[in-house]
Amino acid sequence: MNHRKSPLTAAIISCLAISFSAQAQDAPPEATELDRVVVTGIRASLQQSLESKRNADSIVDVITAEDVGKFPATNVAEAMTIIPGVTIDRAYGQGERVSILGVDPALNRTLLNGQSIASGDWNMSDFPTRTFNYSLLAPELVGKVEVFKSPEARMDEGSIGGTVNVSTRKPLDMPEQVSITGRLSYARNDRVEKTDPSASAAFGWKNAADTFGFILSAQSSNESIRRDGIESYNTVRAKNYRDGLDGAAGSVNNTGDDWSVPALPDGSQPQKPGTCQGACEQALNANPEAIGPSSISAHFFEQERKRNTYSASLQFKPVEQLNIELNGLKIDANFDHMAQSMFAWPGNTYGSLMTLTDVTIEDGIITGGKHKGGRMVFDLQNRRAKIESETYDLKVDWNGERWFASTHVGHTKAEGGPEQVYASFLAPADYEWSIANGPGTPATLKIIGQNPFTDPSLFRMDGGYASPWHTDPPSQTNWRSGWGGNLIEKPTLDKETYGQVDFGFKLDSPIYLVRAGYKQRSHETGQIQRGVVLDSITGYGDATADMFDPRKL
């Protein structure tokens, strides 16, 4: 057998021989104990997230407390935007609800330390769902957030898009024996012209043996929000302008009885002349299915949000295998707000369909119109909203070499909701509107003559109508009252008491884990809407807008 040696082979053999000889002659070095190396910051957070994803049995994304702290997040939802596939709504400035993989927030679940957390809503249009109002949860509470994008049998059912599990900070995970942290910040909103402070403080302690510790924390956050915009409610068809709708008059046909002139020989009343004539009438006849906005609104919304959060966490670990945790969380939040809408209502069935004098239709879209005596509206909504939430839970874990077991009991409750004062005023006006220059200029509105938006005495609560409408002045027998607004409250309750037991075995086989458990919970969710309608009658309760003198109490 022939062996061919190359210069590289010879060099490697020589190095190995020298190394072996040196190791044989020198005495083995003594072991040296090094100081502990602690890695913190961005590398530590990436390592924690990576380990959580490796140990998971499903598709999961994780952010840690370090990730949350890197961003000026005002709540947990804001911090979660760094996770792929997670989006939040920003309808009122601050993110409140989470959508996972494009699924509606109402079809996702949120857990706190693996269990349900009660939630409450402040908006009058909200109803109880599975979603969670993240504006209640301060980011300082977070130890880590896990977003499960695929289901696991051990987790609560009821989620289609995904499940969010928020884990609070644990005392024995603190790097130091005593930890004191605090944060003071402020935010300036130039639109509202207010500066809002926020503050948080936490005190943590654990014994030298790392067997017992606690964390106490408190957070206070204020935020002022303002939203201005152009809105449109519903749509109207060209044929509705032409013929009227639901028995109401139109601008070409079915114009209504003219009671200002004598009756015809057959006893019937002549029809009013149509307001839409010539080119206006031709455009409606040629495009009966053309569609346009029913209203054009300038909307104003202003809110003051105040959130106070208090939390306590105790952890006891007498031996390595046993872990006992007790957590408490209390949230007090206020969402008082006011909304105003000032809009022209060209598609109003009983106040505008019969007032059209000119119209512009392009490619099946009604892009503009003129009205003589069309309906204008001023809506005012003043709401007080408060949410109180409490959550308490106790968890005991035993994690041995071959088996594990745990029990988890707790209670969560949230209650509150909005209280509303709603006033609505009407006024006739001559105006013209256009949406032809959208989307750059969403809409334009020009009022001709008296402008009720600059003269509140022209706005009046709906005084109702006579039945039949041409009869004598109001009386108990011939008048139908109008709608001037309402007083409504909408209390909501969400609470749950739960108990859970889990156990399992670890195996040295392809099936490496067998686990089972039992959970029982009593959940109650309810919402009640109650209030009174503010009826008004011409000459009695149809007050003008300038009669009101709003002020803070």
pLDDT tens string 351-361: 999 999 999 99
**Number of C-beta neighbours around residue 450 at 10 A:** 12
Residues 373 and 446 in one domain: yes
Residue 518 falls inside a structural domain: yes
Residue 11 falls inside a structural domain: no
Residues 192 and 138 in one domain: no
DSSP state of 51: H
pLDDT tens digits along 241-290:
999 999 889 999 998 888 788 888 888 888 889 999 999 999 999 999 99
309 within 8 A of 219, measured Cβ to Cβ: yes
349 within 8 A of 317, measured Cβ to Cβ: no
Is residue 61 predicted with pLDDT exceeding 60? yes
Is residue 7 predicted with pLDDT exceeding 50? no
Phi, psi of 478 (to 5 degrees): -120, 5
CA distances from 137 to 64, 79, 97, 391 (A): 15, 11, 11, 12
- pLDDT tier, 60 (very low <50, low <70, confident <90, very high otherwise): confident
The pLDDT of residue 54 is: 61
DSSP state of 458: G
pLDDT tens digits along 123-174:
887 777 777 778 777 777 788 888 888 877 777 777 788 888 888 889 998 8
Residue 3 falls inside a structural domain: no
429 closest CA partner among 446, 411, 410: 446
Residues 55 and 180 in one domain: no
Q: Which of 147, 168, 189 is the last residue of a domain?
A: 168
Residues 539 and 393 in one domain: yes
Q: Is the pTM of this model over 0.85?
A: no
CA–CA gap between residue 547 and residue 457 (Å, rounded): 8
Is residue 1 predicted with pLDDT exceeding 60? no
Number of H helices, E strands in the chain: 6, 24
Residue 5 falls inside a structural domain: no
Burial of 392 (0-12, 13-18, 19+ CB in 10 A): middle
Residues 224 and 286 in one domain: yes
Q: Which of 114, 145, 168 is the last residue of a domain?
A: 168
Residues 365 and 426 in one domain: yes
- Residue 118: CATH number of its domain: 2.170.130.10
- pLDDT tier, 6 (very low <50, low <70, confident <90, very high otherwise): very low
The pLDDT of residue 18 is: 43
CA–CA gap between residue 183 and residue 202 (Å, rounded): 9
Residues 162 and 265 in one domain: no
Residues 399 and 500 in one domain: yes
Q: Is 397 helix (H, G, I), strand (E, B) or coil?
A: strand
The pLDDT of residue 181 is: 85
Q: Up-side HSE of residue 315: CA atoms within 13 Å toward CB?
A: 25
Supply 455's token pair. Answer: 């003269």
pLDDT tens digits along 180-229:
988 888 888 888 888 888 898 999 999 999 999 999 999 998 888 888 88
∠ CA 527-528-529 to the nearest 5 degrees?
A: 125
Residues 255 and 326 in one domain: yes
Residues 159 and 198 in one domain: no
The pLDDT of residue 270 is: 87
The pLDDT of residue 347 is: 95
Task: Show the domain range for 149.
Answer: 39-168
Q: Which of 117, 142, 168 is the last residue of a domain?
A: 168
Mean pLDDT of the region 399-426: 93
Q: Is 23 helix (H, G, I), strand (E, B) or coil?
A: helix
Domain count along the chain: 2
The pLDDT of residue 47 is: 59
Residues 205 and 154 in one domain: no
Residue 393 falls inside a structural domain: yes
Torsion (CA) 126, 132, 138, 139 in degrees, nearest 10: -130
Residues 158 and 181 in one domain: no
Residue 2 falls inside a structural domain: no
Beta 163-168 vs 109-112: how paired, if at all? parallel
> To the nearest whole percent, how much of the chain has pLDDT over 90?
43
Residue 525 falls inside a structural domain: yes
Residue 196 falls inside a structural domain: yes
Q: Is 457 helix (H, G, I), strand (E, B) or coil?
A: helix
Torsion (CA) 347, 350, 356, 361 in degrees, nearest 10: 30
